[in-house]
Structure 1
Amino acid sequence: MFAITHTRSAIRSDLNHGIIFMIVAMLLLPVGDTFAKYLTGTLDPVAVTMWRLLAQAAFLLPVALILRSRLNGAMFSPVIALSGVLLVVSLNALIAAFAVMPIATAIAIFFVEPLFLTILAWPLLGERAGPRRIGAVIVGLGGALLVIRPGFSAYGWATLLPLLSAFAYALNMIVLKRASATRSGLTVQCGATVYAAVIMLLIGATMAVTGYGLTMPTLSQTNFWLAILATGAIAAITFVLIAEAYRAEEATTLAPFQYFEIVTATALGFLIFGDWPDALTVLGIAIILGSGFYIFGREGQAESRAPRRKRLGR
């Protein structure tokens, strides 16, 4: 009896850790996005992406050196390279969207990503989401749209940029899930960041050679360098948390918790831009949080009933 209880407690602990890591990461992500939006006011989106990835690498690599005992598995391999490519596509598309539309609108469109992830996880990971889990994702999406209420037609083809970012991001989450099966989260993120930074440096060099120069901050623009360092540091922290979350839990389980990003986005809109949440915004946030906590409760109940059964969705 003690052994069974101990096993259930350990599994529930792993589940809690995965979900908690994802929630913390989602609450931090909009902070980095806000810095990126600020930088697009002066720099090219490609330059912002390049500097963000370089700053992210600058923070991750010393951490990897200090915590080298946590580096398990191959850091440089085809699957990690694929993650780096998808990271480049997702970041470039989203930051380009920030340059032409409000950050809240871009994030609202990006929130189709959990739906992409839930759909892709079945054929690519064998994680079949049940109707309740799919329902929670859809409800969370509805809550996000209720908060943002974007005008999709106002920006024309630019609305495809967050959609492209969301699709690449969802694919990257699948890749991270596979890579994290034999590697630590720190190993995966360090490798993917190095690949992505090298790719962006090559893109920047190619643009310079072909005559399309990138706008760059001068050494005297302290605010821009601080913003670059901040967005890199936040990215480094959040993506390690995300990798650890996907190592501990199924992609379809974590998908609804990505809507927690809207909480920080709404708070930053109020603190920085003075946007007061109205009644529909409060209702939307409540729906988002409710869908996430519903999945959390369902997963905990399922693990208590069948600790050794593979979770296939309910």
Structure 2
Amino acid sequence: MTHVSVRRGLLYVSIAATAWGTGGAAGALLHQTGGLGPVAVSFWRFAAGAAVLLLARLLFGLGGPRHAGPLTTLRPARLTGPPTTVRRTRSTGPLAVLRRARLARRGSVFGRVLVTGVAMAVYQTAYFAAIAESGLAVATVVTIGATPVLVAAGGRLLLGERLSATGLGAVVIALTGLAMLTLGDGPAAFSAAGVGWALLSAAGYAGVTLLNRASTDEPYATATGGFVVGGLCLLPVALAQGLLPSGDPLASWAIVVYLGTVPTALAYGLFFTGLVAVRATTAAVISLVEPVGAAILGILLLGERLTPAAACGSALLLGAVALLALRERGQAAAPV
């Protein structure tokens, strides 16, 4: 079990959301320089993320057990006596209990990794489909905006996380800020199919958040396994689109390394670790700062202009995140 304080959990989730904000720009650059389709970009993101986490585990022991729990202290007793006694000890003694506990835990971890990986592949693909149908603005607002609502409902029904008036107000303020930030340039194209894909993407992301909030053992192992499963799900479509980047190979593979390291391995590892201490709804709202980071990168790197509406939306988003973070720290053991 990973032990994380509320303060550190909030920091981890905030860093993850900020890192995610750079993923869109990195993916767009990889599309431009390498000519890769969106699913192929997602495949390399998952593949590189899994490779980075596996390397970190080999070199630094990242994600390995830090403390020996009660089960790990059990040692097989010396078996003596007649054969009937030996058989009974093997089936009911400490060693048998340890084996059953290990098998149960492995089954739980495997199931969580499998569901996490499939859900990650689904929400990545559905998000790109939403962009194709409705454009980036509507896809972003519906996908990212619906996520905290779904997480709040799921957290209440499945995890018993209550949302007070303060928490509900923070969610409403955050969604208002998101709409102002993303739709600040005027009306956007609407498509029922696009909204449907965006809601599917939001449901997948909400499911990943709730699942890993409910089971917080081995977050880095979950992230690594999720990347492997998600990458395998995306591989057939990526092969059809064209798997290898074209153009300047050095630039393309450098972007792949960054995409797999910062907005994938680092971000998801920290996010899953932060969920140990932070409520699911709070984590989902903090994740809304992702478009704020993307907007700042657009201004600094791409020469984009921040409209007054987008600036106000960013301020509302950050204010809502700060409100929830302060509430979470002040009442770590009470409902938000």
TM-score, normalising length: structure 2? 0.77
User: After the TM superposition, which of the residue ranges 105-114 and 70-79 deviates more from structure 2?
Assistant: 70-79
Q: What corresponds to 2:99 in structure 1?
A: none
CA shift for structure 1 position 156? 5.9
Contact 1:136 1:294 in 2 (8 A): yes
Q: Say which SS state the counterpart of residue 122 (structure 2) adopts.
A: helix
Which whole-Å CA distance do the structure 1 matches of 2:54 and 2:21 have between them? 23
CA shift for structure 1 position 264? 0.7
CA shift for structure 1 position 279? 1.9
Q: What corresponds to 1:64 in structure 2?
A: 57
Which whole-Å CA distance do the structure 2 matches of 1:71 and 1:131 have between them? 40
Structural RMSD (CA) = 2.6
Deviations 1:172-220 (A, max 9, x none): 101111231xx1321221221222223333x34xx86xxx453531485
Contact 2:17 2:290 in 1 (8 A): yes
Q: What corresponds to 2:25 in structure 1?
A: 34
Larger Rg: 2
Q: Please state if 1:223 is matched with 2:251.
A: yes
CA shift for structure 1 position 288? 0.9
Q: What corresponds to 1:47 in structure 2?
A: 40
Q: Please state if 1:22 is matched with 2:55.
A: no
Q: Which amino acid aligns with 2:220?
A: L
Q: What corresponds to 1:110 in structure 2?
A: 143
Which whole-Å CA distance do the structure 2 matches of 1:194 and 1:274 have between them? 36
Contact 1:86 1:171 in 2 (8 A): yes
CA shift for structure 1 position 285? 1.3
Contact 2:139 2:194 in 1 (8 A): no
In structure 2, stretches of 5+ residues that fail to align are 66-104
Which whole-Å CA distance do the structure 2 matches of 1:268 and 1:101 have between them? 23
Q: Please state if 1:94 is matched with 2:127.
A: yes
Which whole-Å CA distance do the structure 2 matches of 1:272 and 1:159 have between them? 30
CA shift for structure 1 position 92? 1.6
CA shift for structure 1 position 50? 1.3
| Superposed counterparts of 1:128-139, under 5 Å | 128-139=162-173
Which whole-Å CA distance do the structure 1 matches of 2:177 and 2:114 have between them? 35
Which whole-Å CA distance do the structure 2 matches of 1:60 and 1:233 have between them? 8
2:203 to 141, 164, 167: 167
Contact 1:61 1:190 in 2 (8 A): yes
Contact 1:18 1:248 in 2 (8 A): yes
Deviations 1:239-285 (A, max 9, x none): 01101110122112323212221321110121233222122222111
TM-score, normalising length: structure 1? 0.82
Contact 1:76 1:191 in 2 (8 A): no
Change (3 A) 1:278 1:153: closer
Which whole-Å CA distance do the structure 2 matches of 1:200 and 1:61 have between them? 20
Contact 1:257 1:292 in 2 (8 A): yes
User: After the TM superposition, which of the residue ranges 237-246 and 66-75 deviates more from structure 2?
Assistant: 66-75
Q: What corresponds to 1:81 in structure 2?
A: 114
Which whole-Å CA distance do the structure 2 matches of 1:220 and 1:293 have between them? 42
